[in-house]
Amino acid sequence: MWIFGYGSLIWKVDFPIKRQVVGHIRGYVRRFYQHSIDHRGLPHKPGRVVTLIPGDENDTVWGTAYEICEEDIEVVSNHLDFREKNGYTKTSVKFYPNLDSDLHPFELIIYVATPDNVSFAGEADIETIAKQIVSCSGPSGTNKEYVYRLAAAMRSIAPSIIDSHLFDLEKAVQNLDQDLIN
């Protein structure tokens, strides 16, 4: 079994893995369109985290694929089903490993929060999302930490890839965060 991480699963791998491979999936875009009431926000003040939105055939989302050992599949599946419980469902997509990998494209599992779930926040402009993010925190930490860690992780694993939604949001959050300090 392979799992694709495109959000916190890139830097917070809290389950056993056999190996990991950087690469991308096609036909989606990463967006901060999902409310978080259990990790980066609270029920009365939800934060925002990423989900995948269908895009066109040229859109790609970079992240990390994790291979799970046969004996760990049930434990990891149960763990991730609980971790991603706030509106995420599993689906299968084709993963394209980085060119330096010896692997060919293959099917894997992703967790996606679709617009029909109760915690779907929906589309908003970058400034509106940033204002929500700087004011939220939850059991897993501040919402702005989530943005900063995801942006840093993406620069680390795919330095030549520009994720404008993520990086524009990071800049907007930094600006608001700086304003709060001054």
Q: What are 35-53's pLDDT values in tens digits?
A: 999 999 999 999 999 999 9
Q: Is the pTM of this model over 0.75?
A: yes
Q: What is the DSSP string of 95-122?
A: EEE-TTSSPPPEEEEEEEE-TTSTTB--
What are the pLDDT digits (tens) for 122-174?
A: 999 999 999 999 999 999 999 999 999 999 999 999 999 999 999 999 999 99
Helix axes 126-134, 143-157, angle to 10 degrees: 120
How many domains does the chain fold into?
1
Domain of residue 34: give its range.
2-181
What is the domain-level CATH number for residue 158? Answer: 3.10.490.10
Q: CA 92 from chain center: how many Å?
A: 16
Tell me the C-alpha distance between 182 and 160, whole Å: 33
Is 71 annotated as catalytic?
A: no
* Set 71, 84, 107, 170: catalytic member: 84
Q: Tokens for 140? A: 């897993």
Which residue type does 122 have?
A: G
Task: Give the lowest-confidence range in 43-47, 55-59, 79-83, 147-151.
Answer: 79-83
Is there a contact between 10 and 150 (Cβ–Cβ < 8 Å)?
yes
Handedness of CA 144, 132, 120, 40 (dihedral sign): positive
Tell me the C-alpha distance between 98 and 52, whole Å: 20
Neighbours of 128 (CB within 10 A): 12
